[in-house]
């Protein structure tokens, strides 16, 4: 924590020194996925970016409580209270329970996050698990006179709120400007003002997920869950609130309004936004039909792709661009990342075999300082990666006998590469893992053969079924047993 970290704050539109409210504790809330479909590669970019932030803050010694919610109710198709609830709609189309949809895509999301080596958040609360807290917040806002009820729905009164507060504070825009540039939106006949948004929505009888409230059967508006859950787990004021930049103008603007209206405080000191993953310059989005899934990338199973790419290549590709810049997806860019990642990992593998000399041609501490400086400058991962390539050149030169390194510098080299490659960037050597797998499988298959020879069929079946459960299929033939990943 000796480092001075600077972060870009969307709220003030400047880079500021990071000073947590209750250091060493840091509260970080990131808007999570709406679990009505698989997370696409764009969503993954946002969560990889916050994973980098989580990892670096942890490295600096902060004790981070990272809360990332699961949106399982209330997110309508349109940004402004129009259309159907995304999860209910999917449930109807698939003839499944909404909670089956939620379960399926939550599990899928966690699997993908794990494959991409993102660390799990400290708390992963769901909207449906916090209906009471959301109803309480609606009551508080109503009690402050900043919301009104119409026919079983409750709306936030933006213009009234703006009399004493600054509704457009996050994107630095005046209310008049926002009012002029807003089209007429859903539920308008019930709303008093163009910018008003729903806190609680009256449910039609056929709506699948609805809860009783003092305003009748209904469900919470999407923005409300994050206000209610962030204050429940991180308090009325915490350090970082994040999400993709597309959430800034509406979702996060409304979240701030709800929190300020209910308890008088902007919930977060630092609002941080990741920029979009684009395809041919257009935001990757499910609704635009230009999205694809991480799994399609890992298998190469998409016509847009020339070949498959490994999870760590995908992660490296994302981290080679600063989180606040847009990142355009292309086969060329992926191929370049694949080469870069291999170059870095090849050097990393050589590290353990390097021998120290009495003399040194290199001062690793200067590069180590620059690695920290890069990350202290608003988590500048591309500059960090450039420094790591500098260290890779040192590794290769020492390995080839073109350069000497003494024991102190060699130790620092190992420590710096390990810390920044594995702990901060979250990259791991896939080759090593893949090389070891056949040996492990051979060992397990031999154990099973022994069990069979001893007529211990219970154990041999247990091994076969256990492997199948984790995705490995065994095939017995006269020649022996083979395995494949299913």
Interface with Zn ion (CB under 5 A): 31, 226
Distance in Å, CB of 247 to Zn ion, minimum: 6
- Span interacting with ligand AMP, options 37-45, 158-166, 300-308, 401-409, rule CB under 6 A: 37-45
Residue 46 binds ligand AMP, judged by CB under 6 A: yes
Minimum CB distance to ligand AMP smaller for 104 or for 370: 104
Distance in Å, CB of 134 to ligand AMP, minimum: 17
How does strand 268-274 pair with strand 238-244? parallel
How far apart CA 67 and CA 63 sit, in angstroms, is: 13
Q: For residue 149, what is the enclosing H or E element?
A: strand 147-150
How far apart CA 444 and CA 92 sit, in angstroms, is: 44
Residue 146 binds ligand AMP, judged by CB under 6 A: no
Minimum CB distance to ligand AMP smaller for 31 or for 256: 31
Binds ligand AMP (CB under 6 A): choice among 5, 26, 28, 31:
31
Nearest of 232, 211, 236, 231 to residue 221 by alpha carbon: 211
Distance in Å, CB of 226 to Zn ion, minimum: 3
Q: Is 339 in a helix, a strand, or coil?
A: helix
Q: Name every residue whose Cβ is closer than 8 Å to that of residue 421 and which is 6 or more positions away in sequence.
A: 344, 348, 388, 427
Q: For residue 474, what is the enclosing H or E element?
A: strand 472-477
Minimum CB distance to ligand AMP smaller for 193 or for 221: 221
Binds ligand AMP (CB under 6 A): choice among 260, 284, 395, 413:
284
Minimum CB distance to ligand AMP smaller for 28 or for 247: 247
Can you read off the two tokens belonging to residue 161?
Answer: 């709120």
Q: 260-279 mask for ligand AMP (x: CB under 6 A)?
A: --------------x-xx--
Residue 118 binds ligand AMP, judged by CB under 6 A: no
Minimum CB distance to ligand AMP smaller for 319 or for 417: 319
Minimum CB distance to ligand AMP smaller for 106 or for 210: 106
How far apart CA 309 and CA 314 sit, in angstroms, is: 7
Residue with token string 């409750």: 154
Residues within window 234-253 making contact with ligand AMP, judged by CB under 6 A = 243-244, 246-247
Distance in Å, CB of 117 to Zn ion, minimum: 24
Minimum CB distance to ligand AMP smaller for 229 or for 247: 247
What spatial distance separates the first Cα and last Cα of the chain, rounded to whole Å? 45
Residue 43 binds ligand AMP, judged by CB under 6 A: yes
- Which contacts (CB < 8 Å, 24+ apart) does range 448-455 have? 448/474, 448/481, 449/481
Residue 87 binds ligand AMP, judged by CB under 6 A: no
DSSP string, 400-463: TTSS--BHHHHHHHHHHHIIIIIIIS----HHHHHHHHHHHHHHHHHHHHHHHHTT-HHHHHHH
Distance of CA 85 to the CA centre of its chain: 22
How far apart CA 264 and CA 256 sit, in angstroms, is: 10
Residue whose beta carbon is closest to ligand AMP:
244
Residue 108 binds ligand AMP, judged by CB under 6 A: no
> With CB cut-offs between 5 and 8 Å by kind, which of ligand AMP, Zn ion, none does residue 226 bind?
Zn ion
Distance in Å, CB of 42 to ligand AMP, minimum: 2
How does strand 197-202 pair with strand 218-220? antiparallel
Residue 283 binds ligand AMP, judged by CB under 6 A: yes
Q: For residue 238, what is the enclosing H or E element?
A: strand 238-244
Minimum CB distance to Zn ion smaller for 98 or for 242: 242
For the beta carbon of residue 404, count every other beta carbon within 10 angstroms.
17
Distance in Å, CB of 44 to Zn ion, minimum: 17
How far apart CA 415 and CA 412 sit, in angstroms, is: 5
Binds ligand AMP (CB under 6 A): choice among 45, 139, 160, 315:
45
Q: What is the DSSP letter of 353?
A: G
Instruction: Catalog residues that contact ligand AMP under the rule CB under 6 A.
Output: 31, 33-34, 42-43, 45-46, 243-244, 246-247, 274, 276-277, 283-285
């Amino acid at each position: 924590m000796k480092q001075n970290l600077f972060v870009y704050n969307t709220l003030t539109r400047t880079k500021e020194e990071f000073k947590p409210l209750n250091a060493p504790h840091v509260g970080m809330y990131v808007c999570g996925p709406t679990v009505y479909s698989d997370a696409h590669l764009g969503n993954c970019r946002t969560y990889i970016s916050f994973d980098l932030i989580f990892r670096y803050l942890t490295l600096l010694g902060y004790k981070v409580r990272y809360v990332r919610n699961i949106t399982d109710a209330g997110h309508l198709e349109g940004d402004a209270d129009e259309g159907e609830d995304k999860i209910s709609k999917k449930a109807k189309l698939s003839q499944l329970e909404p909670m089956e949809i939620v379960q399926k895509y939550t599990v899928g999301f966690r699997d993908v996050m794990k494959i991409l080596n993102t660390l799990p958040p400290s708390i992963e609360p769901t909207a449906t698990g916090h209906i009471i807290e959301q109803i309480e917040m609606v009551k508080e806002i109503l009690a402050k006179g900043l919301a009104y009820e119409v026919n079983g729905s409750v709306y936030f009164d933006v213009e009234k709120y703006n009399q004493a507060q600054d509704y457009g504070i996050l994107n630095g825009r005046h209310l008049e400007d926002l009012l002029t540039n807003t089209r007429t939106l859903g539920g308008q006949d019930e709303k008093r003002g163009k910018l008003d948004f729903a806190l609680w929505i009256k449910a039609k009888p056929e709506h699948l997920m609805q809860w009783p409230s003092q305003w009748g059967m209904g469900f919470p508006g999407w923005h409300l869950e994050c206000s209610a859950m962030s204050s429940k787990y991180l308090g009325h004021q915490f350090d970082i609130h994040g999400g993709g930049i597309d959430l800034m103008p509406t979702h996060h603007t409304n979240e701030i309004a709800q929190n300020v209206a209910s308890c008088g405080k902007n919930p977060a000191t630092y609002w941080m936004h990741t920029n979009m993953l684009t395809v041919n310059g257009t935001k990757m989005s499910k609704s635009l039909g230009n999205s694809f899934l991480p799994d399609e990338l890992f298998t190469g199973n998409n016509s847009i792709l020339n070949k498959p790419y490994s999870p760590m290549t995908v992660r490296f590709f994302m981290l080679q661009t600063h989180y606040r810049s847009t990142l355009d997806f292309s086969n060329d860019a992926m191929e370049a990342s694949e080469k870069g990642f291999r170059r870095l990992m090849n050097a990393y593998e050589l590290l353990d075999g390097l021998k120290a000399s009495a003399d040194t041609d290199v001062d690793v501490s200067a590069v180590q300082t620059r690695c920290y400086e890069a990350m202290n400058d608003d988590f500048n991962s591309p500059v960090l990666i450039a420094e790591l390539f500098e260290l890779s050149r040192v590794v290769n030169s020492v390995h080839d006998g073109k350069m000497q390194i003494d024991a102190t510098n060699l130790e620092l080299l190992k420590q710096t590469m390990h810390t920044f490659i594995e702990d901060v960037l979250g990259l791991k050597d896939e080759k090593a893992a893949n090389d070891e797998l056949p040996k492990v499988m051979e060992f397990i298959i031999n154990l099973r053969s022994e069990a069979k020879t001893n007529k211990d069929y219970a154990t041999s079946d247990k091994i076969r079924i256990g492997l199948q459960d984790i995705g490995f299929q065994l095939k017995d033939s006269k020649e022996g047993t083979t395995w494949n990943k299913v």
